[in-house]
Chain A
Amino acid sequence: MAKNDLKTTVQDNVIWKSIFRPGSIYRKGYRDTSRDRALASMNNVLYHLHPVKVKRHGLKLTYTYCLGGLSFFMFILLTITGIFLMFFYTPAAGAGTEIAYLNMRELSASVTFGQLVRNLHRWGAHAMVFLVFLHMARVFYHGAYKPPREFNWVVGVILLLLTLFLSFTGYLLPWDQLALWAVQVGTNIAGFSPVFGDQVQFVLLGGVEIGPNTLLRWYVLHVLFVPFITVVFLAVHFWRIRKDGGISGPL
């Protein structure tokens, strides 16, 4: 069958047309014209994130350095690798039930791609913290927080804190010496919160010291609670970028 016949057969039927809205680049008759380029954006789920047209200077690598976008990419990648890890992990510790730590050993020893995915998750987390920080610096040096973008900067700072908290809660989960003592440094500090120090520490630890309860608590925070809050703030962040008139500048 000639290439074009095949293309017509695939594209010219009810099912294909029901999936790809008019203007989609996969639909029959897409032409590389201004009209179809505009429709391609408007009829794509990405229209929730991107307008039809963007300022030309925003495309230059040296404007955003793609830092915000890459922070988001890391978040997605961490979600995917994190779900993989969840299949092989039980947040249980304590004498005789050191399952969490055993799971980590098995993950690298006997799970297909286990070690690789764990590495991706670990290095990805470090990369995300670093990228978010660089993104903040780039926004600052461009003065991109100035009106009308003041509030989006505040949302950004909250995202930075959430990113740090996500990393930190994950740090405990392997339940090795490294994790236990690194986390100890942090939770000791929480005990010095004014007035409610002891209570704050008790809530964070699920007891008076780091133990099996802490592990379960931080696991739930790490895989569900903090990601959920982060997604909410990401949604506001992205929505505000568009409502504030798209990317700032040019300088």
Chain B
Amino acid sequence: MSDEVQIDQEVYDRLIGEGKSERIARAKAKAASVRKAKIAEGQSLGPRSADEASKALEEFRANAGGGGVATKTEAPADAGGGGRLTPEQRAARVAASLGNGGDKQPASMGVPTSGEHTHRLLALVPPAGIQQVQSKQMDKVYTWPHLLLVEFVALLAAGSLLLIVSFFLDAPLGSLANPNDVPAINKAPWYFMGLQELLAYFHPMVAGITLPGVFAVMLMAAPYVDKNPSAKPENRKVAVLGFTFFCVFWGVLVIIGSFIRGAGYEWVWPWITGLGFTL
């Protein structure tokens, strides 16, 4: 798949000697060897110097023709002040690129004056429109190959497990549906057994509508109610306890409903009457 990149052993050894981590040393050593290979092929490295760049542009214009009305770029190196343009220089350049060579008012704001030019893109971005991203430098790794590899393995493992189960266990299929033949044991799928168990204690309106509604709203509201900014377990004992209680509560209801309810939804012990439960 990939052409193997040699690492530059010399650089690697030096960095390891300097106490850099294995990972950093290897990355830098690879980069060094790529750089070497490029030099060997006669390419130049890094950004080109301003002179080179404008010469290339000139050549390109001469050969390819067309292009915008942009003017010859003055190499920033001449401009003094650490390679930056003075405000005057910048103003002059903007005016020039708008198609008037100098200090006249621009006659046509960026609209090409000759018929040769077909389009021009110009965008002004107000400072308020620029998103200020303040992210801390974090310890990050490349998605390819690291994350994708983990995902692939997880997918294979889960897929195989499911395939094995499906190979040995058949999904149930009862007799034809018959509205007149009420079965002795009548249960919802397991994920609704919590609800069905509640039905045994409360009026259906409360057990089936009010309580599940309240739970769903509570669940959705959780992030807005829990204003504690910490994510550390030791700082959020109440939240952890509350959620655990919620899960255990449902778990117990589901287990009772699934395994300890028999004919007529009566309380029975599974070791006496057998499991009245189908997936």
- Is A118 at the interface (CB under 8 A from chain B)? yes
Tally chain B residues at the interface, Cβ within 8 Å.
81
- Is B90 at the interface (CB under 8 A from chain A)? no
Name the CB-closest residue of B to A60.
Answer: B150
- Indicate if the CB atoms of B142 and A38 lie closer than 8 Å: yes
Spot the interface stretch: A47-55, A217-225, A227-235.
Answer: A47-55
Among residues 23 to 60 in chain B, which have CB atoms less than 8 Å away from a CB atom of chain A?
A: 27, 30-31, 34
Partner of B142, one of A34, A149, A191: A34
Spot the interface stretch: B62-70, B100-108, B121-129, B174-182.
Answer: B174-182
- Is B151 at the interface (CB under 8 A from chain A)? yes
Tally chain A residues at the interface, Cβ within 8 Å.
95
- B residues within 8 A CB of A34? 27, 30-31, 142
- Is B113 at the interface (CB under 8 A from chain A)? no
Give A130 Cβ to nearest chain B Cβ, in Å.
8
Partner of A32, one of B5, B174, B176, B232: B5
- Is B243 at the interface (CB under 8 A from chain A)? yes
- Is A77 at the interface (CB under 8 A from chain B)? yes
The main secondary structure of chain A at its interface with chain B is helix
- B residues within 8 A CB of A181? 182-183, 186
- Indicate if the CB atoms of B167 and A146 lie closer than 8 Å: no
Partner of B4, one of A32, A59, A209: A32
Among residues 197 to 232 in chain A, which have CB atoms less than 8 Å away from a CB atom of chain B?
A: 209-211
- Indicate if the CB atoms of A56 and B139 lie closer than 8 Å: yes
Partner of B232, one of A104, A124, A251: A251
- Is A164 at the interface (CB under 8 A from chain B)? yes
Give B143 Cβ to nearest chain A Cβ, in Å.
5
Give A112 Cβ to nearest chain B Cβ, in Å.
15
- Indicate if the CB atoms of B224 and A150 lie closer than 8 Å: yes
Q: Given the complex of chains A and B, what is the CA–CA distance between A144 and B166 in angstroms? A: 34
- Is A192 at the interface (CB under 8 A from chain B)? yes
- Is B159 at the interface (CB under 8 A from chain A)? yes
Q: With A30-B3, A178-B174, A185-B186 as known contacts, state yes or no: A70 contacts B158, CB within 8 Å.
A: yes
- Indicate if the CB atoms of B2 and A31 lie closer than 8 Å: yes
- Indicate if the CB atoms of A153 and B181 lie closer than 8 Å: no
Q: With A54-B141, A61-B150, A123-B162 as known contacts, state yes or no: A209 contacts B199, CB within 8 Å.
A: no
Q: Given the complex of chains A and B, what is the CA–CA distance between A39 and B111 in angstroms? A: 36
- Indicate if the CB atoms of B169 and A123 lie closer than 8 Å: yes
- Indicate if the CB atoms of A143 and B236 lie closer than 8 Å: yes
